[in-house]
């Protein structure tokens, strides 16, 4: 019997700690990831225990996804990391509008 893994939605019963570790702008290790909203080679959008996190760069690749612990590893050249807080109201809505064009 084949097992099905939903890589878009990570286990919600994981450790709530959220950390971001960057090594030389080329490798990111992120914990506390609740869900991978979207990703491609230029942008990742992750829902973390501390809010939505957008990661932009070039040649971005998901190197590791640990569903049980809520850990994601990304490699490539990172340009920026931005937390999208709900407090921003219109700013956040405008950013999401641009993000999902």
94 has a pLDDT exceeding 80 = no
Would you tell me how many other CB atoms lie within 10 Å of the CB of residue 3? 4
Better pLDDT: 96 or 32: 32
Name the pTM for this structure: 0.70
What confidence tens digit (pLDDT) does each residue in 51-61 have? 999 999 999 99
80 has a pLDDT exceeding 70 = yes
Mean pLDDT within 55-82: 95
Quick one: pLDDT band at residue 26, thresholds 50, 70, 90? very high
Q: CA distances (Å), 20 to each of 2, 3, 13, 60, 81, in order?
A: 33, 30, 19, 16, 10
All structural domains of the chain: 20-99 (2.60.40.2000)
Q: CA distances (Å), 33 to each of 52, 70, 90, 98, in order?
A: 9, 5, 25, 23
């Amino acid at each position: 019997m084949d097992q099905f893994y939903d890589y878009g939605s990570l286990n919600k019963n994981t450790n709530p700690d959220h950390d971001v570790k960057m090594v030389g702008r080329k490798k990111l290790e992120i914990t506390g990831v609740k869900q991978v909203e979207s990703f491609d080679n230029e942008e990742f959008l992750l829902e973390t225990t501390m809010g939505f996190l957008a990661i932009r760069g070039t040649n971005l690749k998901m190197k590791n996804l640990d569903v049980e612990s809520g850990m994601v590893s990304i490699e490539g050249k990172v340009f920026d990391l931005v937390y999208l807080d709900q407090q921003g109201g219109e700013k956040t809505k405008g950013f999401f509008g641009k993000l999902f064009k």
